[in-house]
Amino acid sequence: MEFTLSDLRKNNRHEPQKFDTTLDLKKTLTERVPDEVLDLSPVVVSGLISVESSGDALLYAKVKATLTVPSTRSLVPVTLACDFDFTEFYVDSKAALNRYDATDVVIVAEDGVIDLDTAVADNLLLQIPMQVLSPEEQKAQTMPKGKGWEVTREGDESADAQSVDPRLAKLKDFYKDSQS
């Protein structure tokens, strides 16, 4: 679904353009990031686009979808319920960017077009957490391990002590002599 800045300025100067639609972004996201998105339900999007006094457009959207991503530990599929909203400003040129704070999301509308599909897809990707664990992995008290390897938690000092490369083990005492 696309909106042009010129049409919005002409028809929606005093009243926002409302929308309520369902987008099929599964193919787009699974092709764009196949290692991160395994499946995606139809995306329900509602919101509005208003035209600011400067002529820039403000997009507000509420998004609901179910995203399936691989576990960051075992790569098993994990389902994430996504229910979020986002706000973005759209401007004609890079020169208009200086009107906004560094914390605002401001996008230069290519050819004066606001592509709702792209905006929603980008924001869905931002909803994927850095660490995704299956329910079983969340409940497990032990970390996976195999022959010659094991998964450790960041900051686990006992694991850090065990992980010293034997070829570099003598270096740990290197500075002890010079500190006396």
User: Is 25 among the domain residues?
Assistant: yes
User: Is 171 among the domain residues?
Assistant: no
**Model confidence at 50: pLDDT above 70:** yes
Can you give the three-state secondary structure of the chain, one letter per residue?
Answer: CEEEHHHHHHHCCCCCEEEEEEECCHHHHHHHCCCCCCEECCEEEEEEEEECCCCCEEEEEEEEEEEEEECCCCCCEEEEEEEEEEEEEEECCHHHHHHCCCCCCEEECHHHEEEHHHHHHHHHHHCCCCCCCCHHHHHCCCCCEECCEECCCCCCHHHHHHCCCHHHHHHHHCCCCCCC
User: Is 170 among the domain residues?
Assistant: no
User: Is 110 among the domain residues?
Assistant: yes
Name which of 32-41, 92-101, 136-145 the model is least confident about: 136-145
User: Is 122 among the domain residues?
Assistant: yes
User: Is 123 among the domain residues?
Assistant: yes
Domain range enclosing 35: 2-135
Total domains in the chain come to 1
User: Is 143 among the domain residues?
Assistant: no
pLDDT given at position 49: 94
User: Is 149 among the domain residues?
Assistant: no
pLDDT given at position 87: 95
